[in-house]
Amino acid sequence: MIRRGPGPGFARPKIRAKDTVGTLKRLVRYLDFAKRKLILVFVLVLSTALFAIIGPYLVVIAIDHYILPGNLRGLAFLTAGMIALYAVNALFHWLQASLMVELAQTTVGRIRRELFAKIQTLPLKFFDTSERGDLMSRLTNDVDNISQILTSSVTQVFNSLITLVGVLAMMLYLSPLLTLANLAVIPVMLLIVGKVASMSRNFFMQQQTALGELNGFIEETISGQKVVKVFTKEQTMLERFSTLNNNYRRSGIKAQILSGFIPPFMNILNNLNFAVIASLGGWLIVRGLSTIGVIGGFLNYSRQFTGPVMQLSNLFNMIQAAIAGAERVFEVLDQEPEPEDAPDAKAPDRIDGEVQFEDVSFAYEKERPVLHGISLEAKPGQVIALVGPTGAGKTTIINLLTRFYDIDQGRITIDGLDIRQIKRDRLRSLLGVVLQDTYLFSASVKENIRYGRLDATDAEVEQAAKLANAHSFIIRLPNGYDTILSEDGSNLSQGQRQLLAIARAILADPAILILDEATSSVDTRTEQQIQSAMLELMKGRTSFVIAHRLSTIRNADLIVVIDQGRIVEQGKHQELLERKGFYYNLYMSQFSLPLSS
């Protein structure tokens, strides 16, 4: 991947959840694939809720019709029935939990797969302006939070609603007076829950954002550990980590403490309510207005009525974290992908490799143009060298040729065909890119080379390695071509990684080749090996070479000198030196010895 320098940061998640209801609806739509199983789950939930509602009424019957009259035979039958009822209830609970876990994991797997697939379609600009650690956090932590709410919260919310309605109906049936007394506490509960919900939602979003920042910093620090040690910045990094860790800790404490306030407060209200109902029920029994069984059953229902509210409050942390995580996931899913190919876009089987830039202008940000009226031509098989100071726009030209970004003005053609009229995937398959910072995957050497063409045989992989001058060092590795590389190939030298990248490009057999600073960070001997491999790679191909070491491009067919986004000189090495212009000054700044013709 060719990248430019840092840009404006990818939009951070808003501190406040933007659309809680909309987010929940969107999550529910992911369950559409298993409607039948979902219906079965809710039937089981309905059954367990009804069983739970019936249970206390059986207690009323047991007290008033069997215990007080002394009917032990009837009590035994009723007890056996209650045991059977609760056994079936337990079985249904297990079934619904098992089914919901399966549905939840399948759904989360789809979300994670969709998120990863979406990332593959996003333009380079998204990755240039996003933190890798934050993206990782969205793929892992935020999706895991969604998994938790789908696994348990969906069924528990449904169960709680059924229980609330059923228990209310039974309480009204047993004693309307006691029901009114019991309902008096509900507005207080709802008021507290609603207030805490609006406050803690902010903290949960802050917690998720802080976690993303912390993950990003950890990833960067581990990747750049050599730099940290070389500049002895261990203490600085530790202090920075402590700051981010404390931010995450503080937001987590605020979110958990605030939402954790609900259960004990609800428990206090529930106990007070129980005491009031018990006292009022006792007064009704003394007055002969009710029975012991009815009051006993009503007290059970009273506990059950506030139970669902308390259950929801206990789930509150999970629900809030899941909503915050889902919004962060949907933020990525809602990003604009790379523009679709034009309806009449072509996919040429082969190209000669003639490339033209015609008055091309471009800006990453509208108010800061990077390229101004670039025009250049590369004939098939020519080597075009792009040189100039850092930030001149060399890599941007390559970004436009590969359509990582689309031009603002002018056009770029390959064999006379505007690259916007070529299918993007086909265009990139015609290009081979070797970067200064080669990326290798945590796989075998053979698999890393084969990434250039997945259907290549082992013999073709080995041949590509030989052409790239990589075979000799590969066979000295512990397991040769089957040696597993560590992350980013860090168990190889920079030069060895570069040779593998060249082997990968040779195997891909591109029509147009792009070499971006491919030898800028290796020693002279390794540079000679890489140069030899690159000459082999460039045979018969149109090549664009970006190089800071001007000695490496003396034999280029055309040297294009770029400064501040404009072409200031073009020509061959010797004629540019004779002009004693911009290129001459660049060259002389690297070589203090007299120039020979």
Question: Taking Cα atoms as reference points, which of 567, 490, 495 lies closest to residue 531?
Answer: 495
Q: From the CB of residue 237, how many other CB atoms can be counted at a distance below 10 Å?
A: 15
| C-beta separation of 23 from 334 below 8 A | no
Taking the complete model, does pTM exceed 0.85, yes or no?
no
One DSSP character per residue, 192-223 reads: HHHHHHHHHHHHHHHHHHHHHHHHHHHHHHHH
| C-beta separation of 481 from 461 below 8 A | yes
Q: From the CB of residue 577, how many other CB atoms can be counted at a distance below 10 Å?
A: 18
Question: Taking Cα atoms as reference points, which of 562, 512, 520, 240 lies closest to residue 396?
Answer: 562
Question: Taking Cα atoms as reference points, which of 508, 552, 550 lies closest to residue 529?
Answer: 552
Rounded to whole angstroms, how far apart are CA atoms 426 and 392?
29
| pLDDT of amino acid 280 | 80
Angle formed by the axes of helices 234-260 and 316-333, nearest 10°: 120
User: Which residues face 357 on adjacent strands?
Assistant: 376, 412
- Domains of the chain, start order: 20-333 (1.20.1560.10), 344-430+514-519+544-597 (3.40.50.300), 434-509 (3.40.50.300)
Rounded to whole angstroms, how far apart are CA atoms 415 and 160?
68
The 3-state secondary structure of 73-140, one letter per residue: HHHHHHHHHHHHHHHHHHHHHHHHHHHHHHHHHHHHHHHHHHHHHHHHHCCHHHHHCCCHHHHHHHHH
| pLDDT by 10s per residue, the chain, length 597 | 444 433 333 333 333 446 777 888 888 888 888 888 888 988 998 888 888 888 788 877 888 777 877 778 878 888 888 888 889 888 988 998 888 888 888 888 888 889 888 888 888 888 887 777 778 878 888 888 888 778 777 788 788 888 888 888 888 888 888 888 777 777 777 677 667 766 776 777 788 778 878 877 887 777 677 677 766 778 888 888 888 888 888 888 877 777 677 677 777 777 777 787 788 888 888 877 777 878 877 888 787 777 776 676 667 667 777 888 888 889 889 988 888 888 888 888 888 889 999 999 999 888 888 999 999 999 998 999 999 888 888 889 988 999 989 999 999 999 999 999 999 888 888 888 887 777 788 889 999 899 888 889 999 999 988 888 889 889 999 999 999 887 666 778 878 888 888 888 888 888 898 887 655 555 666 667 667 777 777 778 898 988 777 767 888 899 999 999 999 999 998 999 989 889 888 888 876 544 443
| pLDDT of amino acid 596 | 43
Q: From the CB of residue 500, how many other CB atoms can be counted at a distance below 10 Å?
A: 25
Rounded to whole angstroms, how far apart are CA atoms 30 and 40?
17
| pLDDT of amino acid 592 | 52
One DSSP character per residue, 491-530 reads: TS-HHHHHHHHHHHHHHH--SEEEEESTTTTS-HHHHHHH
| C-beta separation of 89 from 52 below 8 A | yes
* DSSP SS3 for 559: strand
Q: From the CB of residue 122, how many other CB atoms can be counted at a distance below 10 Å?
A: 16
**Residue 223: CB partners within 8 Å, gap ≥ 6?**
488
DSSP 261: T
- For β-strands 383-387 and 542-546, DSSP reports them as parallel
Question: Taking Cα atoms as reference points, which of 208, 205, 201, 207 lies closest to residue 140?
Answer: 208
| pLDDT of amino acid 4 | 41
Tokens of 302: 């009273």
Q: From the CB of residue 288, how many other CB atoms can be counted at a distance below 10 Å?
A: 7
Question: Taking Cα atoms as reference points, which of 491, 553, 490 lies closest to residue 518?
Answer: 553
Burial class from Cβ neighbours inside 10 Å (0-12, 13-18, 19+) for residue 333 reads: middle
